Amino acid sequence: MATATHHLSEYDPTSVPSGAGRRFALVVSEWNLAITDALRHGAKETLMKHGVAEQDITEVWVPGSFELASGAQFLLEKGGLHGVVCLGSVVRGETPHFDFVCQGATQGIMAVGLKFSVPVIFGLLTDDTMEQAQDRSGGKHGNKGVDCAVAALKMAALKG
């Protein structure tokens, strides 16, 4: 497990570029709301900690994780963003639905970022149990939203 050696909320703050003057969006799935809202909170607080003004953070909610890529695309079509963080949670069930949603969301998020040449960060938890999702959204493994915000800041700075 990747988080066994990497706590999702721990990072070297001196390695993170300032987000001052940059605009970011958080696209958040309504499905598994307790998990995704915790991810959203971690991402937003981290962006602000590194200089992004609250008014420069757009937050939108989409029905589920499959819609994360469309949400990101709709926002990027409007222009003016330096990065988008997509946050969702899919917990494995008894049918192959999990695989279809995870695969579609993964490919869609990557495609949108490449299409617009703007960092679109993959913050989709794909867990076997709700406990695992809780562990990665502020629990014992940290908060993936924090990790994703750091990635967005670094990638936005890389792009220039």
Query: Does the active-site annotation cover 97?
Result: yes
Split at pLDDT 50, 70, 90, the class of 1 is very low
Q: How far apart are CA 41 and CA 91, in angstroms?
A: 20
72-89 pLDDT per residue, tens: 999 999 999 999 999 999
The Cα-based distances of 31 to 52, 116, 141, 152 in angstroms read: 27, 26, 21, 23
40-64 pLDDT per residue, tens: 999 999 999 999 999 999 999 999 9
Percent of the chain residues past pLDDT 90, beyond the cut: 91
Structural domains for the chain? 28-159 (3.40.50.960)
DSSP 9: T
Q: Residue 102 above 60 pLDDT?
A: yes
DSSP 125: E
Find residue 27's DSSP bridge partners: 60, 86
- Of the residues 6, 41, 82, 97, which is catalytic? 97
Confidence (pLDDT) at 3:
63
Mean pLDDT across the stretch 33-39?
Answer: 98
Mean pLDDT across the stretch 110-125?
Answer: 98
